[in-house]
Amino acid sequence: MYLTVFAKISSIIEDFKFVFFEDLRYMKIVEGFLNTLKITAGALLIGVIIGIIIAAVRTSFDKNKESMKLRGGVGYYILSFLNFLCQIYLTVIRGTPVVVQLMISYFVIFVSTDNGVLIGIFAFGINSGAYVAEIFRAGIMSIDNGQFEAGRSLGFNYFQTMKNIIIPQMFKAVLPTLCNEFIALLKETSVAGYVGVMDLTKAGNIVAGRTFQYFIPLFTVAIIYLVVVMILTSLVGRLERRLRKSDR
Amino acid sequence: MTDNILIKVKDLKKHYNGGAVKALDGIICEIRKGEVVVIIGPSGSGKSTFLRSLNLLEIPTAGHIYFEGTDITERKVNINNHRQKMGMVFQHFNLFPNMTVLKNMTIAPMQLLGKSKEEAEKQAFEMLERVGLKDRADAYPSQLSGGQKQRVAIVRALCMSPDVMLFDEPTSALDPEMVGEVLDVMKELAADGMTMAVVTHEMGFAKEVATRVIFMDDGKILEEGTPKEIFENPQNPRLKDFLSKVL
Render pLDDT for B117-165 as a digit per residue (tens, 0 to 9). Answer: 999 999 999 999 999 999 999 999 999 999 999 999 999 999 999 999 9
Alpha-carbon distance of A79 to A69, in angstroms, equals: 11
Chain A nearest C-alpha distance from B208 (Å)? 28
pLDDT given for residue A7 in this prediction: 87
Would you call A172 an interface residue with chain B, using a CB distance cutoff of 8 Å? Answer: yes
Predicted pLDDT of residue B1? 45
Task: Please tell me the predicted confidence (pLDDT) of residue A248.
Answer: 61
Inter-chain CB proximity B75 and A67 less than 8 Å: no
With beta carbons under 8 A apart, name residues in chain B contacting A172: 98
The top-level CATH class assigned to A14-247 is mainly alpha
The model's pLDDT over A31-59, given as tens digits with 9 standing for 90+, comes to 999 999 999 999 999 999 999 999 999 99
Query: What per-residue confidence (pLDDT) applies to A88?
Result: 97
- Domain ranges for chain A: 14-247
Mutual orientation of helices A167-188 and A26-71 as an angle, nearest 10°? 140
pLDDT score for A18: 85
Mutation target for B interface from A154, A167, A172: give the one with most B CBs within 10 A. A154
pLDDT of residue A68: 80
The reply to whether residue A247 touches residue B90, judged by beta carbons under 8 angstroms, is: no
Instruction: Give contacts of A64 with chain B, Cβ < 8 Å.
Output: none
Q: What is the tens place of the pLDDT at every residue in B13-70?
A: 999 888 888 999 999 999 999 999 999 999 989 999 999 999 999 989 999 999 999 9
Of A66, A73, A157, the CB nearest to B80: A157
SS3 A74: coil
**What percent of chain B is modeled with pLDDT above 90?**
90
Whole-structure pTM value:
0.85
What's the CA gap between A121 and A35, in Å, rounded? 10
Q: What is the pLDDT of residues B34-47, one digit of tens each?
A: 999 999 999 989 99
pLDDT of residue B122: 96
Intervals of chain A under pLDDT 70:
1, 248
User: What ipTM was reported for this prediction?
Assistant: 0.91
Task: Determine whether the interchain pair A149/B90 forms a contact, defined as Cβ–Cβ distance below 8 Å.
Answer: yes
Residue B104 has pLDDT above 90, yes or no: yes
Closest to B61 (Cβ–Cβ): which among A70, A152, A156?
Answer: A70
Report chain B residues whose CB lies below 8 A from the CB of A165. Answer: 96
